[in-house]
């Protein structure tokens, strides 16, 4: 199109009201939630950027197909429709629906993980790491060094460090590495994509050692769009062709359909191996459900089948990636430190750079996330020392590498004026950043503490 304005390629048929709170109300709400945004009721949030997972707006076509969902226990036609869509998109052979991404992870790693094994990934998402470690295996992250520098503005920062991969396989012995994963896009590394060249190179190394390669495919369509736009040789390729080419390099995939299948719940595990497929089928029947529904309703399978077709639409992806960039670029222009380049599903504020006067053990990311709520009712999530900080053997806090605040954009939910409002709120907090003060934990759980911790402002 010849015009520079990228529009939302949809119109709105059904709306949900948003509740606008006063600053006084928000002070009280935040206080009652112990400065933990997970503990705030969603009704008390104005713009919810906590996650892009399960928060998509479904299309009229998805709702229509849900009405036709087949709720038969075994062999429902919704499964066969869904299976065909996934096979056409990915070329993978055996498709198992599951209730969400981590269910696929649990099945996969309980079959191939275990003590003495190492699973290698560009960066494990937290549930992936937790499921690998729960099986007794080691979860090793080998993203390229550039992927760890938030300021460095280079493309494909989600790539695997293939030299380090080769070395790690040699050190551990290929027989102890049952799987290599590529997370596309790399969520924990800032929503950064993996290039086709890197996928192919990783494949080559896996072939050399006879190790299967899988995708953690949650945001596969966003990754394909980055390849089309940013990697030489793919400009004229339609997205489904790029997706097919990406998947031609892997032996299987885990997928949380709550992201790029544009649904509120669902996922799948897909594999080429007949032997692994038999094992998955048996385990799935034991814990998720019969393999033609996998813990979902038939209508959920129908919504996924439709969503997977909509997500590879060129104008949808252009709107999607451009609107994330719209938010990120406006913040960069205002001098606000963000992780660069802007990823696919979220903008990450660099709280360490924005609040250098707050030491990392006083949780600058959480301070910033709370400030965005107080200022404008925005919910984001801290990805820093509250989430990933650890205790050493003496109980002292070991901080995370980065102190980030993620603003994840739900798909097809907010309009440009919502995002303009978010930009204004962040600019306003940025103006007052020197007045912000640190937080301390008063109560915490032994693991995944960020979900339930109670915090309070430090009094000087
Ligand atoms: N892998 C990646 C890369 C993810 O981002 C997620 C979820 C999962 C696996 C697990 O999928 O939630 O369906 O079980 N990410 C969400 C987020 C929770 O907010 O980034 P799930």
Kindly state if the Cβ of 36 falls inside 6 Å of ligand 1. Answer: no
Distance CA 210, CA 207 (A): 5
Q: Which two tokens stand for residue 63?
A: 């709702």
Domains of the chain: 23-52+314-457 (3.90.1150.10), 60-310 (3.40.640.10)
* 126 Cα to the center of ligand 1, angstroms: 8
Distance CA 321, CA 267 (A): 22
Kindly state if the Cβ of 56 falls inside 6 Å of ligand 1. Answer: no
Distance CA 132, CA 161 (A): 20
Position 431 scores a pLDDT of 97
Residue nearest atom 5 of ligand 1, based on CA coordinates: 187
Distance CA 66, CA 111 (A): 33
pLDDT in tens, the chain (460 residues): 578 888 999 999 999 999 999 999 999 999 999 999 999 999 999 999 999 999 999 999 999 999 999 999 999 999 999 999 999 999 999 999 999 999 999 999 999 999 999 999 999 998 899 999 999 999 999 999 999 999 999 999 999 999 999 999 999 999 999 999 999 999 988 999 999 999 999 999 999 999 999 999 999 999 999 999 999 999 999 999 999 999 999 999 999 999 999 999 999 999 999 999 999 999 999 999 999 999 999 999 999 999 999 999 999 999 999 999 999 999 999 999 999 999 999 999 999 999 999 999 999 999 999 999 999 999 999 999 999 888 888 888 899 888 999 999 999 999 999 999 999 999 999 999 999 999 999 999 887 899 999 999 998 7
Distance CA 294, CA 45 (A): 33
**Cis (ω within 30 of 0) for the bond into 316?**
no
Distance CA 350, CA 380 (A): 13
Residue nearest atom 19 of ligand 1, based on CA coordinates: 51
Q: Which residues pair with 397 in a beta bridge?
A: 391
Residue nearest atom 16 of ligand 1, based on CA coordinates: 53
Kindly state if the Cβ of 216 falls inside 6 Å of ligand 1. Answer: yes
Q: Which residues pair with 119 in a beta bridge?
A: 139, 179
Torsion of CA 28, 34, 37, 38, to 10 degrees: -130
Kindly state if the Cβ of 131 falls inside 6 Å of ligand 1. Answer: no
Position 1 scores a pLDDT of 55
Q: Which two tokens stand for residue 296?
A: 């979902």
Q: Which two tokens stand for residue 439?
A: 């937080």
Distance CA 227, CA 51 (A): 24
132 in Cβ contact with 102 (< 8 Å): no
Residue nearest atom 8 of ligand 1, based on CA coordinates: 101
Kindly state if the Cβ of 188 falls inside 6 Å of ligand 1. Answer: no
* HEC letters along the chain: CCCCCCCCCCCCCCCCCCCCCCHHHHHHHHHHCCCCHHHCCHHHCCEECCCCCCCCCCCHHHHHHHHCCCCCCCCCHHHHHHHHHHHHHHCCCEEEEECCHHHHHHHHHHHHCCCCCEEEECCCCHHHHHHHHHCCCEEEECECHHHHCCCCCCCCCCCECHHHHHHHHHHHCHHHCCEEEEECCEHHHCCECCCHHHHHHHHHHHHHHCCCEEEECCCHHHHHHHHHHHCCCCCCCCHHHHHHHHHCCCCEEEEECCCCCCCCCCEEEEECCHHHHHHHHHHHHHHCCCCCCCCCCHHHHHHHHHHHHHCCCHHHHHHHHHHHHHHHHHHHHCCCCECCCCCCCEEEEEHHHHCCCCCHHHCHHHHHHHHHHHHHCEECEEECHHHHCEECCCCCEECCCCCEEEEECCCCCCCHHHHHHHHHHHHHHHHCHHHCCCEEEEECCCCCHHHCCEEEECCC
Residue nearest atom 12 of ligand 1, based on CA coordinates: 101
* 100 Cα to the center of ligand 1, angstroms: 8
Burial tier of 103 (Cβ tally within 10 Å: 0-12, 13-18, 19+): buried
Atom of ligand 1 nearest to the CA of 186: 3
* 217 Cα to the center of ligand 1, angstroms: 10
291 in Cβ contact with 284 (< 8 Å): yes
Length of the chain: 460
Torsion of CA 68, 72, 78, 84, to 10 degrees: -160
Q: Which of 258, 269, 300, 407 to mutate to test the pocket of ligand 1 (most atoms within 8 A of CB)?
A: 258
Q: Which of 38, 101, 381 to mutate to test the pocket of ligand 1 (most atoms within 8 A of CB)?
A: 101
Distance CA 169, CA 91 (A): 27
């Amino acid at each position: 199109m010849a015009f520079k304005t990228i529009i939302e390629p949809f119109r709105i048929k059904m709306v949900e009201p948003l509740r606008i709170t006063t600053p006084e109300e928000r002070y009280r709400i935040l206080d009652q939630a112990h400065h933990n945004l997970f503990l705030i009721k969603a009704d008390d949030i104005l713009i919810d950027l906590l996650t892009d997972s399960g928060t998509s707006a479904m299309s009229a076509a998805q709702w229509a197909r849900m009405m036709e969902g087949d709720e038969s226990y075994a062999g429902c036609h919704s499964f066969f429709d869904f299976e065909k869509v996934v096979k056409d998109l990915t070329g993978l052979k055996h498709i198992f629906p599951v209730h969400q991404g981590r269910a696929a992870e649990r099945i996969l790693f309980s079959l191939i993980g275990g003590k003495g094994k190492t699973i290698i990934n560009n960066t494990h998402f937290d549930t992936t790491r937790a499921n690998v470690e729960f099986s007794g295996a080691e979860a090793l992250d080998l993203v390229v060094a550039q992927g760890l520098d938030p300021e460095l503005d280079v493309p494909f920062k989600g790539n695997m460090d293939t030299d380090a991969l080769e070395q790690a396989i040699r050190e551990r012995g290929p027989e102890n590495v049952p799987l290599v994963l590529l997370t596309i896009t790399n969520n924990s590394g800032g929503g950064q994509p993996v290039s086709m060249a890197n996928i192919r190179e990783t494949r080559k190394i896996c072939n050399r050692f006879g190790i299967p390669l899988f995708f953690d495919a949650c945001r596969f369509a966003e990754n394909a769009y980055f390849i089309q736009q940013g990697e030489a040789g793919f400009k004229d390729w339609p997205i489904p062709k790029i997706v097919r080419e990406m998947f031609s390099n892997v032996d299987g995939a885990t997928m949380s359909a709550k992201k790029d299948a544009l649904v509120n719940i669902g996922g799948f595990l897909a594999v080429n191996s007949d032997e692994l497929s038999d094992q998955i089928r048996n385990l799935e029947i034991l814990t998720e459900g019969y393999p033609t529904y996998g813990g979902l309703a038939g209508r959920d399978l129908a919504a996924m089948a439709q969503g997977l077709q909509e997500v590879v639409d060129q104008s949808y992806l252009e709107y999607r990636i451009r609107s994330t960039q719209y938010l990120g670029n406006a913040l960069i222009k205002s001098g606000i430190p963000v992780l660069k380049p802007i990823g696919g599903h979220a903008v990450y504020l660099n709280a360490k750079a924005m609040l250098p006067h707050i030491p990392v053990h006083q949780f600058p990311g959480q301070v910033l996330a709370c400030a965005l709520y107080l200022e404008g009712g925005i919910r984001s999530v801290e990805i820093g020392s509250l989430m990933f900080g650890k205790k050493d053997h003496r109980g002292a806090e070991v901080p995370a590498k980065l102190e980030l605040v993620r603003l994840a954009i739900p798909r097809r939910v907010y309009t440009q004026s919502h995002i303009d409002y978010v930009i204004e709120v962040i600019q306003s907090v940025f103006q007052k950043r020197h007045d912000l003060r640190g937080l301390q934990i008063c109560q915490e759980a032994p693991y995944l503490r960020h979900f339930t911790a109670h915090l309070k402002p430090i009094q000087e």
